[in-house]
A = this chain, B = another copy of it.
Amino acid sequence: MTVTEARQQFISTWGAMGTHWGINRTMAQVHALLMISANPLTQDDIMAQLNISRGNVNMNIRELIDWGLVDRVIIAGERKEYFTAEKDIWKVATQIIKERKKRELDPMMKLIDQMSKVEGDKNDKDVKVFLDTINGIQKFGAHADDMLGLLVKSDENWFLSTVLKLIK
């Protein structure tokens, strides 16, 4: 495997991974390309390297910026905009966790809290099971929230060394 092949493979694998995580393939590929590029790239660079249209690049770049995974870079004397991605994988992971917590976990837990308050006939077995399930999710969600907060606030070395001690 040559480096060029490996780079291609990486972009394609990272893209496939994205689809398993609710992120569209192209967005993940653009992200992959920027992660393994030493220098910032323009929209045209990305279009050329991934063989996709300008509109597609533009939309996915915007979304990546929104996720806090990609930054616009101004290069003095250049007219075009350049883009770059964070390369420290720990930072990438914590950023994704932070965003997903905000976008998915938080709204879900708000709904669960509301549902936990419904009144119902406690002799009905289905009602009982429903309330138990909701309650379980509520408790679980609170713990998950604490843990993700801890994970995101801490730096890599602190977190890993502390938690990994538990394994021994």
Enumerate chain A interface residues (CB-CB to B < 8 A).
Answer: 1-3, 5-7, 9-10, 13, 17, 19-22, 35-39, 87-90, 93, 100, 103-104, 108, 111, 114-115, 117-121, 124-130, 132-134, 136-137, 140, 143, 146-147, 150, 160, 162-164, 166-167
**A19 engages B22 (CB within 8 Å):** yes
- Identical chains in the assembly: 2
- CB contact between A114 and one of B1, B39, B111, B163 (< 8 Å): that residue: B1
Whether the Cβ atoms of A115 and B20 lie closer than 8 Å is no
Chain B residues with CB under 8 Å of A143's CB are 160, 164
Point out the residues of chain B lying under 8 angstroms from A137, CB to CB. Answer: 89
Contact, CB under 8 Å: B111 / A38: no
* B93 and A126 within 8 A (CB): no
Q: Which residues of B contact A150 (CB under 8 A)?
A: 163, 166-167
CA distance A88 to B85 in the complex (A): 40
Q: Are A13 and B111 in contact (CB under 8 A)?
A: yes
Judging by beta carbons under 8 Å apart, are A133 and B87 in contact? yes
Chain B residues with Cβ below 8 Å from A21 are 21-22
Contact A147 B163, CB 8 Å, known A3-B120, A115-B10: yes
Given A39-B125, A90-B140, A133-B35, A115-B1 contact (CB < 8 Å): yes
A-B contact pairs, 25 of them (CB 8 A): A1-B114, A1-B118, A3-B127, A6-B118, A6-B134, A10-B115, A10-B133, A13-B111, A17-B108, A20-B104, A21-B22, A36-B129, A36-B130, A36-B133, A37-B126, A39-B125, A87-B132, A87-B133, A88-B136, A90-B140, A143-B164, A146-B167, A147-B163, A147-B164, A150-B166
